Each structure stands twice: as C-alpha cells, then as structure tokens.
C-alpha cells in the first residue's frame, strides 16, 4: 500500500507546500520506499510509495509526456497490461507501473475511467489544462480513502489515505464512499460501481449456485493478486477463508515454478509465460481468463499465523500449512504485547470499534513480523463472511430476503470494518494486503446466487456453498484443496481464534480503566454516540487522545443483526458453544 495526500484549489499552494509535505509524512509508514510531490496550478499531490510492481521506475506522482496530467495512486491495477493493449490512442508509457495506465484511460474516458479498472485503488488525478480533479476509490473500499474540507479554506478539497493527514487542516471529513468518483467540475461524488445486487438489495437473486463457476472465479481472483515483483505470502488463520486462499496460491505458485524450471516461452498461442525483460527472474503471461499478470517466482510460498500460545487458529493454521507444503511461520504474542500495542493500533486504525480493535491488534503485531522478514505483500481472506453470510448470527436470519439484504449491507460497509482493519493493520508496517474474495468478477458470481443456497440449516453449515465448491470428494482426478476437518471447520472469528484469553483480558483491563461513574457520565462531545460497554468506552478515550471529535463520524460500530447480545464476539453467540458441544 502507498499513501497519498492531495489538495485541490488551495488559496496559496506554494505557502501550503511545507505543511502538505508534513501531512504526507504522517502516512510514510504506508509507503516507506520513496516520497514524491508535485504542484500543478493550485493543486498539490503528495505520494509516499510502497513499491510492489514497477519497482525500478514507478515513482509517483506520475505525469504524462506533455506535463498536463498528474496522478497519485494507492493500490494495484490487476488488468493494467490488458488495458495498455486496448487503448484506442497510442500512449508513451514512462514506467512499468500498473497505475500509469489510469492517465491514458482518463484521456479516453474521463470520469468513466474507474469503470475500466480491475483492482484495489484510491487515486487523485489533476488535469492542468482544465484545472480539473478526478478522484476515485475501488468498488468495495479495500484501500482506505478520505475526503475533507475546511472552513478556513472554502473552495479547497482535500484527499488522503488516512485521517491523520486531514484532521490538522480539515474540520469536515468523510470516508470517501467506495465505488464512487469525485469530479471537481460538479464538486460531486457519483457512483460508478452499480451492480444490481448492490443498488437494488430488495431485488432478491434467483440464480442457482454453479459450484464450478464459484471455484474457478475465486481461483482466477487469487491468480490475479499474485502480480508482484517482491516477496509475497499469505495470512493463514486456519479458518476456511484464509485456508482456501492459501491453497489456491500454493497451487499457482507450484504451477509457475514448474514453468520457470522449463523456461517455457510460448508466444504463438498466448497460453504460456515468458521471461519478463524488465523484471529478471519473473514470469509474465496470460492467465486462464486472458488477464495478463507478472508473478514473482519463489521456491516456497510463505504463510503466516499468530496467536496466544495454544490458540485454536494457530494449531489449525499449522495443519493447513503442513497439508499444503507452504513455508509456514507461526508467531505467538502475549496478552501484555497486545495490551501494550493498543494505543498504537487505534492510532493506525483510526477507529474505536470494539470488533475492529480486537481483531486488528494481533494482525498489527503479525504485520510487523512479516515486514521484518522482508515480505511486502500478503493475500488475506477478508470478505467471504459478508458475501456468504458466514458470521454465526446469520443462523438467526428469518428468511432468504433478510439474509440477502444483510449480506449486501455487510459488503457495502466492509470499508468501515474488515477492509479498514486489513488495510491499516498491514500498512502500519509497509505491508500490502490483497483480498481475492472481493474481486469484482467473484462478487458478480457470488452475490447473484439465490440466497436460499447460502442460508444455514440443520443440513448446511455456514458458508456451505463455498465449502462445497472446493470439496473434491467426487473428483478422484483432482487433489483435495484442504483437509476435510478444515474445509468443514465451524466459523471462528479472528479475534476469538487467536486465543480466547485475548478478549477476556481486554474486558478485564477495561474494567480496571473505566469506572461505573465514568460510564454514567460520558463526554459531552460524544453526543448521542455513547459507548455501551467499558471496553468500548476505553477505546473511545484512546481514540480521543489521537483524533479530534469531528473524526468520530467516520467510524462505524460493528454489531450483529438478529441478536440481543451486546458483545460482538462470535463466541458470545449461543450457536458457537452449541456446535462445539455437538462435536464432542
């Protein structure tokens, strides 16, 4: 992940430049490899770079040959090679960066540019001739992005990857909505990602599940996300979602290693990989869906897990890694390690949501270990629970219409929950997390399935259809993707699976830090947004140490539906214990 900061139409941009550079520096953890800035008219772009693709030539902001278009991007464009080949007007590319293609796309498509992109991204583009700014965020909000305004500089618009860049200069900040594009011509945000399942959640899908399509689209989604010129790995909790991603990534890595050994070059039929001239030691080729990708060849896929000693997730992750043959790294943390990191975690997350903080802390600690090993990019399993109704509270869904609407709501809010957690927990240490389950094509396939197929019954465990899609019991010619005990393992939320003592310790320490009297007298500036537990109160106080009150409006509290519980932990739902009792 990179970090971007931009201001359009600042009244004195030259005078503002030193402060803009300082604000950009606040997110240098996202992009420790290089810093760049550019002033065009009264607009300034600041970029902090994490180099993953086009390592030797992709410094930003990117500028076209005429010097009329400048661009700052955070993200990855997976179909950039295809886009380069399909441009109507020839364009002289200066770099091998996957992001540079946005400039010629803008010249051809204007505000419709983000519709053509397949990837995760937040970007700000400035058109000097028209003094126009276009800014966009990826369809689901995998990359974090904010828009701000200031009463001190009316008419100016600010953009940044994180709140900490904006709150010193903005008194009005929103989370830039995913799947939207901002155009300074109209000073409006417009939705560009508009599939029917998202814009018409009351229109319940009726398509039967196609298990082969479900499997193949997820495999393609993982394959795309192996586009990298640096060491990569997978976050492996031992749960279904991360294990499936790891399994597919391992298969693809082994397949590419075989190609590398043979040095296959097949330009004739377009089905092979050839050595990439600008990235020695890498293969570039066309995958099964005609998507070009550059892949770093490693002798073994790295997998990473973390937990308290004896944590259920760590044990399961080791079983999966042994089954797949990945080079596995199990890290442990102590409760004291986690408690000591809380303030830093909240600073990086820019959230006071209980669920997000509980799960982010071990992920934050793990990311530091991963960075220390020289790995810059990891695949992760976020999104599956939202798409398939995998959270245990979905057991209580009254009917398929309610089930579907809740999955849509969860996917729509991912940018305020799990995507925010994955992005900021890893970016805190200059690591990039990619999420195959949130691939556009996979979402099209999975969200258009009749929700009756997804509902949890006595015969069907949560996320049954994605489990069944990768069950090769009836395919003797296909090697199993996962051991059955993992493929059919009950849902365990990450903050629980790292060790049940973690959440218990958080609650205990909240009791020590928040009195009953404090609960009765919340801060006046919180308004109606009152914490409902001592743990939530404790986190809100830590958030307030880092951020002013107007930043709180960007935070969403994660709470389960169809449940009276106040604790968002999956372990607090009765079905969790019941399932474990049944298994004994």
Binding residues for L-glutamine, as ranges, are 98
Please tell me the distance from the alpha carbon of residue 101 to that of residue 117, in angstroms, as a whole number.
Answer: 9
Distance from C-alpha of 282 to C-alpha of 53, rounded to nearest angstrom: 11
CA dist 553 and 65 (Å) reads: 41
| Cis check: omega of the bond before 504, within 30 degrees of 0 | no
Residue with tokens 């043959």: 325
Phi, psi of 87 (to 5 degrees): -65, 140
Residue 404: how many other CB atoms lie within 10 Å: 25
Crossing angle of helices 312-324 and 240-262, in 10° steps, is: 30
Binding site: which residues?
98, 235, 306, 380-381
Residue 409, CB-side half-sphere exposure with 13 Å CA sphere = 13
- Specify the pairing of strand 232-235 against strand 302-307: parallel
Catalytic (active-site) positions: 2
* 283 within 8 A of 201, measured Cβ to Cβ: no
Which residue carries 């520096």 as its tokens? 25
In the structure encoding, which two tokens stand for residue 276, read together?
């990439």
Kindly give, in sequence order, each residue whose CB lies less than 8 Å from that of residue 418, ignoring residues fewer than 6 positions away.
Answer: 356, 359, 382, 383, 385, 386
CA 54, CA 225: separation in Å to the nearest integer? 15
Q: To the nearest 10°, the Cα dihedral for 176, 6, 121, 185? A: 70
d(CA 13, CA 20): 9
Are the beta carbons of 174 and 426 closer than 8 angstroms? no
Buried/exposed 309-322: b ≥16 CB within 10 Å, e otherwise: eebbbbebbbbbbe
Cβ atoms < 10 Å from Cβ of 298: 17
- Residue stretches of the annotated binding site for ATP: 235, 306, 380-381
Angle between helices 418-427 and 335-349 (to 10 degrees): 100
Q: Helix-strand-coil percent breakdown of the chain, rounded to 5?
A: 40, 20, 40
Sheet with 43-49: strands ordered across = 34-40, 43-49, 3-8, 157-160, 146-149, 172-175
Rounded-to-integer distance, Cα 568 and Cα 419, Å: 17
Separation of alpha carbons 552 and 545, rounded Å: 12
Q: Is the dihedral of CA 286, 85, 132, 97 positive or negative?
A: positive
């Amino acid at each position: 992940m990179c970090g971007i900061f931009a201001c359009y139409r600042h009244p004195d941009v030259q005078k503002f430049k030193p402060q803009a550079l300082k604000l950009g520096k606040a997110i240098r953890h996202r992009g420790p490899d290089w810093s760049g800035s550019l002033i065009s008219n009264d607009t300034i772009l600041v970029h902090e770079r994490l180099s993953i693709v086009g390592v030797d030539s992709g410094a930003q902001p990117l500028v076209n040959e005429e010097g009329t278009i400048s661009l700052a991007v955070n993200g990855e464009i997976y179909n950039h090679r295809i886009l380069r080949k399909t441009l109507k007007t020839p364009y002289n590319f200066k770099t091998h960066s996957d992001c540079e293609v946005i400039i010629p796309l803008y010249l051809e498509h204007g505000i419709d540019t983000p519709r053509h992109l397949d990837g995760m991204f937040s970007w700000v583009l400035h058109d000097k001739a028209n003094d126009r700014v276009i800014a966009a965020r990826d369809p689901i909000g995998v990359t974090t992005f904010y828009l701000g305004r200031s009463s001190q500089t009316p008419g100016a618009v600010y953009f940044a990857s994180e709140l900490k860049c904006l709150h010193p200069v903005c008194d009005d900040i929103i989370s830039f909505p995913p799947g939207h594009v901002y155009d300074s011509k109209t000073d409006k945000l417009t939705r560009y990602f508009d599939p029917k399942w998202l814009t018409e959640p009351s229109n319940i899908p009726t398509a039967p599940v196609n298990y082969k399509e479900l499997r193949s689209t997820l495999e393609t989604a993982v394959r795309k996300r192996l586009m990298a010129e640096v060491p990569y790995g997978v976050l492996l909790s031992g749960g279904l979602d991360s294990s499936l991603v790891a399994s597919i990534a391992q298969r693809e890595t082994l397949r590419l290693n075989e190609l590398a050994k043979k040095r296959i070059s097949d330009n004739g039929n377009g089905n092979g990989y050839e050595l990439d001239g600008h990235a020695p030691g890498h293969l570039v080729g066309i995958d099964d869906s005609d998507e070009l990708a550059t892949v770093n060849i490693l002798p073994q896929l790295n997998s990473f897990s973390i937990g308290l000693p004896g944590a259920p997730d760590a044990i399961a992750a080791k079983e999966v890694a042994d089954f797949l043959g990945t080079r596995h790294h199990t890290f442990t943390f102590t409760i004291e390690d986690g408690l000591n990191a809380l303030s830093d975690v909240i600073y990086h997350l820019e959230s006071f949501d209980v669920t997000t903080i509980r799960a982010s802390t071990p992920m934050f600690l793990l990311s530091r270990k991963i960075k220390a090993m020289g790995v810059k990019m990891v695949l992760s399993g976020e999104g599956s629970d939202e798409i398939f109704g995998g959270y245990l509270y979905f057991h209580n869904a009254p009917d398929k219409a309610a089930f579907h609407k809740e999955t849509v709501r969860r996917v729509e809010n991912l940018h305020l929950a799990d995507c925010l957690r994955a992005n900021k927990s890893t970016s805190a240490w200059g690591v990039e997390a990619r999420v195959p389950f949130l691939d556009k094509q996979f979402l099209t396939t999975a969200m258009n399935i009749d929700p009756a197929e997804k509902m949890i019954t006595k015969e069907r465990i949560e996320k049954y259809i994605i489990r069944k899609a990768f069950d090769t019991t009836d395919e003797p010619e296909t090697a199993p993707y996962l051991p059955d005990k993992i493929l059919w393992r009950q849902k365990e939320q990450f903050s629980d699976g790292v060790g049940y003592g973690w959440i218990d310790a958080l609650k205990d320490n909240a009791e020590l830090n928040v009195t009953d009297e404090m609960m009765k007298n919340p801060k006046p500036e919180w308004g109606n947004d009152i914490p409902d537990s001592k743990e939530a109160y404790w986190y809100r106080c830590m958030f307030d140490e880092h951020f002013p009150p107007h930043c709180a409006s960007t935070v969403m509290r994660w709470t389960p539906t169809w449940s009276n519980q106040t604790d968002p932990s999956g372990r607090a739902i009765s079905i969790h214990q019941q399932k474990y009792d049944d298994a004994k």
